Each structure stands twice: as C-alpha cells, then as structure tokens.
Amino acid sequence: MSINATLLIQMIAFMLLIWFVNKVLWAPLSKLMEDRQKKIADGLSAAEKGKHELELAEQKAKDVLKDAKTQAQNILGQAEKRGSEIVEDAKVKATEEADRIKASAQAEIEQEVSRAREGLRKEVASIAISGAEKILRKEVDAAAHNDMLETLVKSI
C-alpha cells in the first residue's frame, strides 16, 4: 500500500476517533464538568448567602441583646424607684402612726393628770372639812371659821 492510502485510512480512523471521543466521551464529560461547575458555583453562592445571613443574624442578635440590656436596666431603675417609693411611704406611715400614738398617749396622760388633780381636790376638801369640823367643835365662832374654810377651798 501506498503512503497516501495509509495516511488516508489513518486520517479517517483519527477522524472517527475524534468523532467517537466527541460524541461518546467528550459531551458527557463536558456535561459532567458543567454540572459540577454549576454545583460548585451554587455552593459558593449558597455559602456567600449563608455568610451574609449569618452576619445579619449576628447583627440582629446583637441588637436584641442590646435591647434586652436596655430593657433590663429600665426595669431595674423602675424597681429601685418603686422600692424607694415604698420605703418613703412606709416612713411616712410610720411617722403618722407614731404621731397618732404620741397624741393618744398625751391625751391619756392629760386625762390621768386631770383625774389625779380631781382626786387631790376631793381629798384636800375632805381633809379641810375634817379639819374644819375639829375646829368648829372646839371653837364657837362659826363665821370666822367659815371665812377661813372658803379661803382655803378657793386656794385649792
């Protein structure tokens, strides 16, 4: 055979090999590579999206935490304020109760003093009458003794 015929047959065989590789091997391999590239791109896109969502979630968590701290501080401030109000109210009520008890005790003391004075007056009057009776029994001048007794009663 001649070189030309061999060359032609080799060229035809090479073309058939290229066609076979292109149809049977290259197209599915290309399709697999494209699918793989698409999956990788989708994975990278999903990773970027996930990273972005993670950043947003972290920012949201920080904001929620900041709001919670602010709320907690407000609640503590209100609790302290309310506690102070309760203490002040208790002090005012205790002072009022103490004043009421003092006034009651003072009134009771004044009543006791009044009763004691009245009792002393009665006692002094009875002593004076007793003394007057003794004097009257011994002396006859009733007018002089009566004036003396009236003076004594007025002074008491």
Separation CA 62–CA 113 (nearest Å): 75
pLDDT for the residue 141: 62
Instruction: State both tokens at 82.
Output: 């309310």
pTM: 0.43
Kindly write down the DSSP assignment for every residue of the chain, as one continuous string.
Answer: --HHHHHHHHHHHHHHHHHHIIIIIIHHHHHHHHHHHHHHHHHHHHHHHHHHHHHHHHHHHHHHHHHHHHHHHHHHHHHHHHHHHHHHHHHHHHHHHHHHHHHHHHHHHHHHHHHHHHHHHHHHHHHHHHHHHHHHHH---HHHHHHHHHHHHHH-
Q: Which residue has the tokens 């401030």?
A: 77
> Which domain range does residue 90 map to?
3-155
- How far apart (Å, rounded) are the C-alpha atoms in residues 40 and 111? 103
Print pLDDT tens along the chain (156 aa): 567 888 889 999 999 998 888 888 888 888 889 999 999 999 999 999 999 999 999 999 999 999 999 999 999 999 999 999 999 999 999 999 999 999 998 989 999 898 888 888 888 778 777 776 766 666 556 676 677 777 777 766
Looking at the 3D structure of the chain, how many domains does it have?
Answer: 1
